[in-house]
Structure 1
Amino acid sequence: MEHKITALRVQKRNPNRVNVYLDGSFAFGLSRIVAAWLQVGQTLSDEKIASLQAEETREAAYQAALRYLNFRPRSEAELRNKLEGKGFDASVIDATLQRLTEEGLVRDDRFARSWAESRSLSRPRSRRLIAFELRQKGISEENIQQAVADLEDTELAFRAGLRYARRLKNLDFATFQRRLAGFLQRRGFAYGTVVTTVRRIWDEIQATHDTMT
C-alpha cells in the first residue's frame, strides 16, 4: 500500500527530529538525518516505512552510544550492556558496535591501554588490580596482558605510596608503617612489594627531612 507524505514538520521541543504526516495524519517521528531525503508529495510503501523506522532505531542506538562515549572511552562490553539496558535488540546493537568500530570510536585494545595508563598515573594500583578492573569491563585476556605488560608493581607501589605518605609524614614509624601498608594492600600490592615500598618511602622522607634541617 502506498502512502503520500502530506507534511514534514520539525518538532518544536527537539529541532533534531521531524514529524512525518502521511495522508493528512501524523504517522511517526524521525531524526533529521534519517528524514533528510523525504519530501512533501513523495509516496512511501509499507515496506519503505518499515525500512525507515528500522533505520531510525539504528540511528537512535548509535546516538545513544555516542552520548555514553562522551563521558569517557568505553569498552565494547560496556556499550553493549548500556544499549541492552535501553531495550535495543541484539541485531541493532551488533550493527551499532560494528559501525563504531569501523569509525575507530570503539577499540578494546586501545581502551585497555588507555585505562591502564590512566590508572598508573592518576590513581596507581597493582598490575593485578588493573587487570581485574579490565576483566570487569569485558576486555579479553590478550588485550589485558598487552595493556599491563610494561607496568611494574614496584614503581606503581612507590608512586601510590609516596602520594599517600604525605599525610603521614609526622607519624612515628610503627604507625606510618601500619597505615601505609594497609593503603598499599588495598591497592592490590603483594606483601613483599608493600614491605619494601614502605621502607623505601620512609627512608626517603627521613632523608629529605634531614637535608632540610
Structure 2
Amino acid sequence: MKITHIKQQKDKNRVNIYLDGKFGFGIDLENYVKLGLRVEQELTQEQIDEITKKAEFQKTFEKILHFAMVRPRAEKEYRDWMKRKKVAENLFEELLEKLKKFELLDDSKFATWWVEQRNNFRPKPVRVLKLELRNKGLDKNIIDDVFENTQVDEAKIAKDLLQKNQYKWNKYDTQIAKRKRIEYLGRKGFSWDVIKKAIEN
C-alpha cells in the first residue's frame, strides 16, 4: 500500500496517514519523524501493523500519563485503568515497563505514600490501612515492610476521633454514650485494646 497523503490532526502532535487515497491510521509526531514516513512511500501490511502498534502504544501512554499525574498509583490501578479503557492486552507489560522507567510505578513507594497521606489527612487504624493496600493489589511483603518503617499511633487517632465526634453522644447518659463510642470505634476498625485505652482516657 502507498502513502498518498499526510494531514496534521487538530492535535498538532499527531498526523493522519492516508493509504491509497483512504484514511489509514493516526500517529504521533515523534514516531512519524522517527519512522521517516513520506508521501509515495510503499508499506507492506506487516509494516503497517508494526507502525499502528507503535502509534497506539504512544497514544495510550500519553493518556495513562494523565492518569499517573493525578496522584501516585499502584500497579493494579494501572492494570484496572487499561482494562476499563479497553487497551490491547499485548501493550500492558510494555506500558508498565515504561511507567517504571519514568519512576511512575513502584508499589513500595506507593504504599509508603498512601500510609503517609492517610496519617496526615485521614488517619485510620493499621488494620484498615492494610486492607486498603491489599485492595490496591499490593503484595503482603510490601505491606509488612511499610509498617515496619512507619509508626501509626492508633491510640491517638482513636482519641482524636472521639473528641471530634463527642457532640454526637452528649445527649445520652454516661453508659449509653460509652457504648456508642465503643461501637463507633469498632466500626472504624480499631482493635479492642486500642478502643479500651481511648475510652478510659
Contact 1:61–1:92 under 8 Å retained in 2: no
Once the two structures are TM-superposed, the CA of residue 29 in structure 1 deviates from its matched residue by 1.6
- Tell me the SS of whatever aligns to 1:9: strand
- CA distance change for structure 1 residues 33 and 160 in 2, over 3 Å: closer, same or farther? farther
1:32 to 29, 37, 41: 29
Contact 1:168–1:176 under 8 Å retained in 2: no
Distance, in Å, in 1 between the alignment partners of 2:198 and 2:19 is: 72
**Aligned partner of 1:103: which letter?**
F
TM alignment of 1:43-54, pairs within 5 A: 43-54=42-53
Note the alpha carbon deviations across 1:55-101, whole angstroms, 9 max, x for none: 12222332232222132211111111221222223321011111111
Once the two structures are TM-superposed, the CA of residue 10 in structure 1 deviates from its matched residue by 1.5
Distance, in Å, in 1 between the alignment partners of 2:31 and 2:155 is: 52
Contact 1:61–1:93 under 8 Å retained in 2: no
Q: Aligned pair 1:9/2:31, yes or no? A: no
1:197 matched residue in structure 2? 198
1:205 matched residue in structure 2? none
1:94 matched residue in structure 2? 93
Contact 2:124–2:157 under 8 Å retained in 1: no
Distance, in Å, in 1 between the alignment partners of 2:151 and 2:189 is: 13
Contact 2:76–2:137 under 8 Å retained in 1: yes
1:65 matched residue in structure 2? 64
1:104 matched residue in structure 2? 103
Distance, in Å, in 1 between the alignment partners of 2:81 and 2:186 is: 32
Contact 2:61–2:95 under 8 Å retained in 1: yes
Once the two structures are TM-superposed, the CA of residue 164 in structure 1 deviates from its matched residue by 4.5
**Aligned partner of 1:86: which letter?**
K
Q: Aligned pair 1:114/2:113, yes or no? A: yes
Structure 1 unaligned segments of length 5 or more: list them: 201-213
Once the two structures are TM-superposed, the CA of residue 173 in structure 1 deviates from its matched residue by 4.5
- Tell me the SS of whatever aligns to 2:2: strand
Aligned length: 196
- Tell me the SS of whatever aligns to 1:94: helix
Q: In terms of mean alpha carbon deviation, does 69-78 or 131-140 score higher?
A: 69-78
